[in-house]
Structures are given as C-alpha cells and as structure tokens.
Amino acid sequence: MKALLRIMVVLLGLGFIGIQFVPVERTNPVVRADLEAPPGVKSIFKTSCYDCHSHETVWPWYSKIAPVSWLVARDVNHGREYLNFSEWGLMDAEEQIDLAEEIWEEVAEGKMPLAIYLPLHPDAKLNDSQKETIKTWSMRLHEAGIKPPANTGVKQTGSLTVTLQQEDSKEDPDEHEKHHNELD
Ligand code: HEC
C-alpha cells in the first residue's frame, strides 16, 4: 500500500513537471495606441483593469506555473479581445463611446474587475468614488458624441470633435495636458 502511494506521488510529481512544458501564450505586445483619459480616470483603469485589458500585463510568479498559468493567460488573452486599452486609439470615436458605456455597465453591475482577480490584487477593488469617476468619464464621452437625428444626414457631430481632440493631443503634449485638466 505504501509502495503504491509512493508511486502515485512520484507520478503526480512527474505530471506536474510535465505540464510545465505545455506552451502558454504570455505576451506583452507593443502598446500602439494607449487610452487617452484624464489621469484620475486612467490610474483607476491601470490599477484595476490593465492586467487583463492591455499590453502592459504584469505577469506574477504564479502566472508562470501550470496549471494556474493557463487560467491567467486565458483571462488575459480573452480580456484583451473584448477590451484592449493599448489599442484604444485605433478605434473610431463611436466604438470608443460604445465601449466606454459597456465599461460603465460592467463596473456598475460589479462584474469587472473579475472576482477571481481580487484576492491577490486587493488594490484593484473599486470603491464608490472610483466607480463614480468611471461613470462620469463614460457619460462625458457619450455626451461629446451624441449623434444628430438620423434624418438630417449631418455628419458634424460631437464624436468628430472627440477624434480631432485626440489627434491634436498626440501632436502637442501641452494641449493634451490642458484637455485633461478641463476634464478633471
Ligand atoms: C482578471 C482579469 C480581468 C480584469 C482584472 C478585468 N477584466 Fe474585464 N474581462 C476579463 C475577461 C476574461 C473578459 C471576457 C468576457 C468575460 O469573461 O466576461 C472581460 C470582459 C470585459 C468587458 C466586455 C464585457 C462583454 O461581455 O462584452 C468589459 C467592458 C470589461 N471586461 C471591463 C473591465 C474593466 C473596466 C475592468 C477594470 C475595472 C476589468 N474589465 C478588469 C478579464 C478581466
């Protein structure tokens, strides 16, 4: 009986070592068009969301050990598909507004950040004032992009302004700062 137990432990150990060789996609691709948002908003996203929704994932030591590594990599790769702050600027204004609304919905419903993430990242838990900040940011983007009545065919909308401001801000860091302060 003891011998059998020993064999099982050895097999389990070998199995554990064996699964470490299963390749896991743990990447941090180049940040191409990071979210532009007031610093107060951005720092919340950075602390609470960026590990799963950007190319700036901090991969902790346990994310390198199977089978936990599989779960973490799955959440990150899956999370980036839905929302990737590192590619935010590649979306047009309308997509940004839709996604900002979805962000607020997920936060309001308490679905994000994912519960599984919180025990090891207590800082990521959103308090009421942080939620309020996200709500305000999302609503302002929405208001800036309110579409004209469908029948006018007029294309000049707030969302156009949002796009232009973002392009400006890339060229001129001062202008960018001003824009942030206005929003703050
Ligand atoms: C531990 C990883 C993780 C963290 C942290 C995280 N998310 Fe997610 N998020 C995911 C995954 C995985 C999905 C894919 C769909 C799902 O599982 O609901 C997702 C989906 C989403 C979606 C799309 C939902 C849908 O169904 O279309 C939004 C919006 C979102 N997250 C916002 C956020 C915001 C905002 C934060 C920070 C406050 C955040 N997430 C933090 C992993 C995470």
More confident residue, 133 or 163: 133
d(C-alpha 57, C-alpha 169), whole Å = 25
The protein residue whose alpha carbon is closest to atom 2 in ligand 1 is 52
* CB-count exposure of residue 134 (10 Å: 0-12, 13-18, 19+): buried
d(C-alpha 89, C-alpha 57), whole Å = 18
Helices (H), 26-88: 39-48, 50-53, 68-82
Its pTM stands at 0.81
d(C-alpha 175, C-alpha 158), whole Å = 19
The protein residue whose alpha carbon is closest to atom 29 in ligand 1 is 103
Give the start-to-end residue ranges of the domains of the chain. Answer: 30-183
pLDDT in tens, 1-48: 799 999 999 999 999 999 999 999 899 999 999 999 999 999 999 999
Q: Tell me the pLDDT band of 146, cut-offs 50, 70 and 90.
A: confident
pLDDT in tens, 151-161: 544 444 444 44
Residue with tokens 């941090």: 28
Residue among 102, 106, 121, 127 to mutate when testing ligand 1 (max atoms within 8 A of CB)? 106
Distances (CA, A) of 65 to 20, 26, 57, 69, 142: 7, 12, 16, 5, 42
Sign of CA dihedral 152, 156, 92, 143: negative
Ligand 1 centroid–CA 114 distance in Å is 7
Ligand 1 atom closest to the Cα of residue 51 is 5
d(C-alpha 11, C-alpha 3), whole Å = 12
Ligand 1 atom closest to the Cα of residue 74 is 12
Q: Tell me the pLDDT band of 147, cut-offs 50, 70 and 90.
A: low
Question: Is 106 near ligand 1, meaning CB less than 6 Å away?
Answer: yes
* DSSP states along 71-138: HHHHHHHHHHHH--GGGGGGS-HHHHHHHHHHHHHHHHTT--S-GGGTTT-GGGS--HHHHHHHHHHH
Residue among 26, 78, 114, 123 to mutate when testing ligand 1 (max atoms within 8 A of CB)? 114
pLDDT in tens, 112-145: 999 999 999 999 999 999 999 999 999 999 998 8
Question: Is 35 near ligand 1, meaning CB less than 6 Å away?
Answer: no
Q: Which residues of 60-96 are buried (b: 16+ CB within 10 A; e: fewer)?
A: eeebeebeebeebbebbeebbeebbbbbbbeeebeeb
